[in-house]
Chains A and B, each alone.
Chain A
């Protein structure tokens, strides 16, 4: 099995995504930081639905909460919602061309932002600055790169699309 050969890619990619979410960045670029964990998890939900489901997303979200020292369960909630939506549209997304896929992922990230804003609003947490609404855009732009890179790592070679 081709998949079995590269088991390490899934945890490694997630750890890297967590690290990237912690990466110190200049104040100006901070709002543009994409939701790395969400993007990487989205890939795995699309490409490896057998192993990555709601439960996995929940655990990854918890890990993210712990790592980012945010509200425990917040990312778990976001990732669960995102995973659920992805699972719903997985079949279609898989056959989208990469650009369209990127658009869909952008929408997904926007939804994620909305969920986050909703949670903050409900809990009367301080709302994130409006500049953070740009992060779905960068996520959308970065999606093709992430997709191709993870594909290459997972399959051992660049996949033609």
Chain B
């Protein structure tokens, strides 16, 4: 027997014991497995132990949660970095944009300043919305949504983008009424822009046309001529377009032309107008001119007289006066029947023909030396000339200095004298 037989047998016996224990444990384990596998008898035991095991589960969950949070944070970190980068980019772009906008704003301010200066310098205007439009043949008016509060005053001119529209005739604190140049009672002194021939454009009650009457045949007026306000009479500022001559034809007497003017302003369109705030200078005191008007107005008389006056010098006016007076007397003064006949006659003679006939000499003579000498005739526009004598005898003086509503009207005007040869 080898010397190690003893220990080996001892080990062997231990082995056997171990094996037996192993068998016992294996049997136990297998019983448990089978018991658990069949019917789940051990569920109760599981439930009891689950409470003990729960903390272990929680502990086991820590690393997971930690990892989760770390990865989450990392994700957030990268996300934030990305976002930061993007925002920084955006900020840069926006800054660049801002810089550009600032320069534009500066430009804007500068230009605005220029524009304002320009407006201040030339046109002080109020933009007034149109509240109401009254366009029928007897009444061509507008009501504006701007009144005395907006510094609108009676007599101010109203324009639109195209040209002259009318004048303010009535005013309340909030509203103003506008008499359009197309109103049948309105007349506007104009000049032909091309050559300065003075005419008067009358309203007809149609919003698309004005009327020129008694245009001397000799005057160089053609179809297509542009008419602008002359500024005579001080009612309207000079230089605003009134219209273009659309047609010219001889009148019944064959001695004058009658013209049709297409208004430059869009009287039947638009929703806003501009009121020129520059208040016209109050019409000059007409008392001063009262004596004089008779002289040149008389020129008007008849066409031959006018023609003669045109050709003759201004000094010949007196003769013409006589002729005119004579003529006027013959023509019965109709409308102003109540008034003094003499005054009325001068008025009738003066109204239209005075204007038209005076044109010729004025055109020529005014160029000459006479302009200053005869302010009441040449300088004053015909309506005023007509107005002054007509109203004077009957009405008190106070009416004359402020003729705004009355001034453009020619209600007192009788039919033109020249129409009866």
A residues near B, CB below 8 A?
15, 18-20, 22-25, 53-55, 57-58, 61-62, 66-67, 69, 71-74, 76-77, 80-81, 84, 87-88, 119, 123, 125
Closest beta carbon of chain B to A113's beta carbon, Å = 17
**A72 to chain B: which residues have CB within 8 Å?**
32-33, 35-36, 42, 45-46
Q: A54-B18, A80-B25 are in contact. Are A22 and B31 (CB under 8 A)?
A: no
**B52 to chain A: which residues have CB within 8 Å?**
66
B residues near A, CB below 8 A?
15, 18-19, 21-22, 25-26, 28-37, 42, 45-46, 49-50, 52-53, 56-57, 59-61, 63-64
A-B contact pairs, 18 of them (CB 8 A): A19-B60, A22-B60, A53-B21, A54-B21, A54-B22, A55-B21, A57-B25, A66-B46, A67-B53, A67-B57, A72-B35, A73-B28, A74-B33, A77-B26, A80-B25, A84-B18, A87-B18, A125-B37
**B15 to chain A: which residues have CB within 8 Å?**
88
- A69 x B46 contact (CB < 8 A): yes
**B25 to chain A: which residues have CB within 8 Å?**
54-55, 57-58, 76-77, 80
Residue of B nearest to A119 (CB): B33
Complex Cα–Cα for A25 and B68 (A)? 11
* Chain A-chain B contacts (Cβ-Cβ < 8 Å), number: 83
Contact of B37 among A22, A71, A84 (CB under 8 A): A71
- B56 x A18 contact (CB < 8 A): yes
**B36 to chain A: which residues have CB within 8 Å?**
71-73
Which among B26, B29, B36 has the highest number of chain A CB atoms within 10 Å?
Answer: B29
Q: Across chains A and B, which 6 residue pairs bring their CB atoms closest together, nearest first?
A: A73-B32, A22-B60, A77-B29, A72-B36, A73-B33, A24-B64
Complex Cα–Cα for A119 and B49 (A)? 24
Residue of A nearest to B38 (CB): A123
Q: A22-B56, A66-B49, A80-B29 are in contact. Are A123 and B37 (CB under 8 A)?
A: yes
- A76 x B37 contact (CB < 8 A): no
- A76 x B59 contact (CB < 8 A): no
- B22 x A80 contact (CB < 8 A): yes
- A22 x B49 contact (CB < 8 A): no
Residue of A nearest to B31 (CB): A73
Residue of A nearest to B37 (CB): A123
Complex Cα–Cα for A71 and B31 (A)? 11
- Contacts A71-B33, A76-B29, A80-B26 known; list 13 others, CB within 8 Å: A15-B56, A18-B56, A23-B64, A54-B22, A58-B25, A58-B29, A62-B32, A66-B46, A67-B56, A69-B46, A72-B33, A72-B45, A72-B46
